[in-house]
Amino acid sequence: MVGMSLRHAVLGLLVDQPASGYDLMKRFNTSLANVWPATQSQVYGELARLADGGLIDVAAEGPRGRKEYTLTDAGLAELRRWLIEDKPEPRRSSALLRVFFMGVLDAEQAADYLAKAAEQAAADHAALRQLQDSLDWTEQGPLTTNGRLALEYGLRLYAMQEEWAQWASSQITSAAE
């Protein structure tokens, strides 16, 4: 058991508000979409396993077989444990992998690829900024605070990606002369 981040994403989303699998999917698709995407299939499976292991409980049952889960003390403890233990996981980046092998393209194609990457980063940046504007920052809860931190990370990342792609594009066009 080394990774298991999906498990902790589910636990984290249950901290303040109990939820059904259906509710959780909505949270995954909004707040966690850019951080830890998950499929419906995964979420329901993980909920069953977590309940089985006593990390969450079925607190209430509703219409259509709805099961509303809450975090148990053991679940909260597990989340805290995971947060504190630091394990820098390997990061895979297919974007960077492409950069590595860009040499098999001619200069024009490579520059084109980088230009598109810059555009994409700019678009992502704009989308995130819009999300930031649309959110209600009047609340002062702990989740709001940390959501802000994660959002700022995203903004900085996209800014960096755009600048880098522009720089890299200029490197290529100047080397092609």
The residue range among 61-69, 79-87, 96-104, 120-128 that interacts with DNA, by the rule CB under 7 A, is: 61-69
**142 sits near a second copy (criterion: CB under 8 A):** yes
The correct pick among 62, 73, 90, 138 for binding a second copy (CB under 8 A) is 90
Give strand ranges (E) for 26-159: 56-61, 67-71
Contact code string over 22-51 relative to DNA, x by CB under 7 A: xx-------------xxxxxx-xx-xx---
* β-bridge mates for residue 46, sequence order: none
**95 sits near DNA (criterion: CB under 7 A):** no
- List C-alpha distances in Å: 120 to 38, 44, 102, 113, 123: 23, 33, 18, 11, 5
Nearest to 38 by CA among 68, 7, 69: 7
Q: Is 134 helix (H, G, I), strand (E, B) or coil?
A: helix
Nearer to DNA, 27 or 125 (CB): 27
The residue range among 17-25, 41-49, 54-62, 78-86 that interacts with a second copy, by the rule CB under 8 A, is: 78-86
**171 sits near a second copy (criterion: CB under 8 A):** yes
